[in-house]
Chains A and B, each alone.
Chain A
């Protein structure tokens, strides 16, 4: 699993741009890969030799298969166990949040309108899950970039 790779499943051009800009600024060490629909996610994750992302950021409402479908598909695959699934949506329907959690989503995060808030929400979400990766223990969360300090 690549902790520094985030798979973003999002169909909106403006949201794709905003996510790339936000994470690019807050976590320049994170690589982003985009899919525009939920339909290809399982194939992407299970392809031979495919690099496994540390986290999948999912829009909820997309044409074809949406975020909830992806959560269900991924959780039905034991070989994809431990993959962080974060639903990122502006929906205010609590029933949708409940359905996502019931299906096995790790986070259900509000997608704000304001960009500063948008960036902060994504940044905190990445910080939280990256600090809780399996096999990594932190008493104090170290800032990124340790490896580059060795000259």
Chain B
């Protein structure tokens, strides 16, 4: 083995060792071009990277004679059109004028990734056979390095896509709000898999843009100002995936790409992401519809308005606890009796859902009708208790009735296991009135607790359900323990409506909260 041969064998060995450790094609050029340049008689080494599709050359690298300007077209023309063995080419006049006597060329391809060519410009001192052998060996190293790089890249991209699907699913599962869901999908996708992402949802058969995110929002805004562009975007196509849930097409998920085609994710992945997004959007839409039905039904269980009553100001509020999908059982009402007395009633059926709602409607209407007819609170509540027993209901009801005298000076408060109301004295402190009694539906003969209260001018009787007092702050303390007193102090001079609205907002409602305030007018 000659000295040159032995040197090359060592070089080749180092190339193979290094080729498996590189992480980019840039490093590859730095690795393989210099040893070729050092071969005897080699004046220049040119490396060309071909486009994945078509005949374009996307990158030029060189050692020795610079591959710039018009020489790039010359090199592209010299490069073999297809992969094959090393060949020796005529250099052409331009290179011959520079002392080049031959060009030794090889092209190698790798399916699915950009192929490349090496061109070695040699002078008459080169051993063409030896240079050709060396080039063939370097092409082999390069092809293997590209294959490995391609495998690593595919694996990394698959990891990224898997991670994106996992995070997107997590994000979408975390919300049941339609707007939030439609925002989170494109926000997750940009720019990991696309430069832009838009959500269109069909309404009356027409696509409506509901959410749009782009890495460059100003550019997107400019695009969206053109109605024609929006219409084109909303057309199903390769990068506009249908949002299909439960057999229906509900919209389109459109991806905008501004990247190397090799970095555009496969259509199967985009379809997968669209399928998950469609289901999340559909779920949140169905949830929202059901939620609105529940709110409407809840409203039907409560009086649409409170009566106007001489000498009193009335206010009520109802807050639905959490975002649960079932109708709650709190109720209130106010009736004016023929003799001028006013009966304000409040109650809470245990449990939620359709059965509780039916009982809530029955309880409120029964009590209101009986009190309207002139029955005493004691008798009205007793009749309701008997009705619950007759129906064999296992549910119980806490209820309280405040019967306000015709002169508005006294209140007869009758409690059936209901939380004690608050009596806010005009200009003075607030205190709790009596509670007591046993909820209706528990005992065959009800145990009720009447209390008589004096209602001074400007005094307010505040009735509520246990959703208010038992709501908890982030530290787990019940609202009743400290926050209620502080809120009442703060709201001492507030009007009845402001009082109930503010209180319902102050408590972190996990259960429903009904509030009913009765204030005696000032003298």
Contact = CB atoms under 8 A, between A and B. Distances in A.
A116 B259 contact: no
Given A101-B217, A125-B215, A128-B215, A109 B164 contact: no
Contact of B191 (A25, A113, A116, A121): A121
A125 B215 CA distance: 7
Contact of A149 (B29, B58, B215): B29
A82 B62 CA distance: 35
B34 A151 contact: yes
Interface in A84-139: 92, 94, 97, 101, 106-110, 112-114, 116-117, 120-121, 124-125, 127-128, 132
Interface in B207-259: 215-218, 258-259
A141 B260 contact: yes
B216 A124 contact: no
A141 B261 CA distance: 11
B254 to A, nearest CB: 18
A116 B184 contact: no
Contacts of B171: 92
B192 interface: yes
B408 interface: no
Interface string B470-495: 00000000000000000000000000
Interface stretch (B155-163, B327-335, B431-439, B440-448): B155-163
Contact of A116 (B25, B30, B159): B159
A101, A142, A150 — which one has the most chain B CB atoms within 10 A of its CB? A150
The contact size tier of chain A is 20 to 34
> What secondary structure prevails in chain B residues at the interface with A?
helix
A112 B216 contact: no
A145 interface: yes
B58 A128 contact: no
A48 to B, nearest CB: 31
Nearest to A132: B216
A127 B259 contact: yes
Given A112-B163, A125-B191, A149 B258 contact: no
A142 B59 contact: yes
A143 interface: yes
A120 B187 contact: no
A106 B216 contact: yes
A116 B215 contact: no
B187 A144 contact: no
Contact of A117 (B56, B164, B218): B164
Contacts of B151: none
A121 to B, nearest CB: 5
B190 interface: yes
B188 to A, nearest CB: 6
Contacts of A50: none
Interface string B30-65: 100110010000000000000000001011011110
A47 interface: no
Nearest to B66: A150
Contact of B190 (A110, A132, A145): A110
A39 B70 CA distance: 51
Contacts of B288: none
A122 to B, nearest CB: 9
A117 B217 contact: no
A106, A150, A151 — which one has the most chain B CB atoms within 10 A of its CB? A151
The contact size tier of chain B is 35 or more
B97 interface: no
Contacts of B152: none
A132 B183 CA distance: 26
B258 A110 contact: no
A128 B195 contact: yes
B191 A124 contact: yes
Contact of A124 (B56, B217, B259): B259
B117 to A, nearest CB: 16
Contacts of A142: 59
Contacts of A128: 191, 195, 215-216, 258-259
A141 B33 CA distance: 23
A92 B187 contact: yes
A143 B25 contact: yes
A14 interface: no
Given A124-B191, A124-B215, A116 B66 contact: no
A114 B166 contact: yes
Contact of B192 (A97, A117, A144, A145): A117
Nearest to B195: A128
B5 interface: no
Given A116-B156, A117-B164, A143-B59, A110 B66 contact: no
A145 B26 contact: yes
Please provide the 8 A-B residue pairs with the shortest distance between their CB atoms, ordered closest to farther: A114-B163, A124-B191, A145-B26, A117-B163, A116-B159, A120-B160, A149-B61, A120-B192
Interface of B: 23-26, 29-30, 33-34, 37, 56, 58-59, 61-64, 66, 156, 159-160, 163-164, 166-167, 171, 179-180, 183-184, 187-188, 190-192, 195, 215-218, 258-260
Interface of A: 25, 92, 94, 97, 101, 106-110, 112-114, 116-117, 120-121, 124-125, 127-128, 132, 140-145, 148-151
22 contacts: A25-B23, A92-B180, A106-B217, A107-B216, A112-B163, A112-B167, A112-B188, A117-B160, A117-B163, A117-B164, A117-B192, A124-B192, A124-B215, A128-B191, A128-B195, A128-B259, A140-B58, A145-B29, A148-B26, A149-B29, A149-B62, A151-B64
Given A121-B192, A140-B56, A149-B61, 17 more contacts: A92-B171, A107-B191, A110-B187, A110-B188, A116-B163, A117-B160, A117-B163, A117-B167, A120-B160, A125-B191, A140-B58, A141-B259, A143-B24, A143-B25, A148-B30, A151-B37, A151-B64
